[in-house]
Amino acid sequence: MSAGDNAEGPPPGDGLRPVDDTARALARRLLTTAGHGALAVIEAGSGHPSASRVAFALDEDGAPLILTSALAAHTPALSADPRCALLVGEPGGGDPLAHPRMTLQGVARRLVRDSAEGRRVRERYLRAHPKAALYVDFGDFAFWRIEPQRASLNGGFGRAWALSAVDLAAIA
């Protein structure tokens, strides 16, 4: 048996596995069970990367929805440059790099609070995060929808996939 035949070993070439049902199921599980993630943005003014922890819910089609305050550094960053990434997946015991995680890259779009979409998203978000009812209607808070473009999925050592927007749409 060659190294390429070993289902547990790393694949040949670039190290990425072909996207299959296993990858899609893992990506779906990470998104549907996380609830929180690390949001990476390009800092307004400096152009430096910045990351912060955010709560998120999923829209009907699986796109992440976040609620941000104008006081949070990621809000002006997204307003200036809507490109962002959301890292999901929690390390368990042992080596944190052995646990699955996914970085979803996309473009954030601020939602109009009083629109039909804004009201629908508010309801979805509050179902996922009921304690947010304490501040969801504060005037400086806004919902953003991250339109997924691609993702880097890591299932642990030697298990990596590059998911396209089409792959991400299929896991909703």
Domains of the chain: 36-89+99-170 (2.30.110.10)
Q: What are phi and psi of 3, to 5 degrees?
A: -60, -30
**What is the residue-wise DSSP string for 130-144?**
GGGGGTTTSTTEEEE
What are residue 36's DSSP bridge partners? Answer: 55
Query: Are the C-beta atoms of 155 and 95 separated by less than 8 Å?
Result: no
Q: What angle do CA 78, 155, 29 make, to 5 degrees?
A: 70
Provide the pLDDT for residue 148. 97
Residue 100's H or E segment, with its range, is none
Provide the pLDDT for residue 13. 55
For 77-118, what is each residue's pLDDT tens digit? 999 999 999 999 988 888 888 889 999 999 999 999 999 999
pLDDT above 60 (res 1) = no
Distance, first Cα to last Cα, the chain:
37
Rounded distance, CA 119 to CA 125, Å? Answer: 10
Provide the pLDDT for residue 77. 97
Provide the pLDDT for residue 93. 85
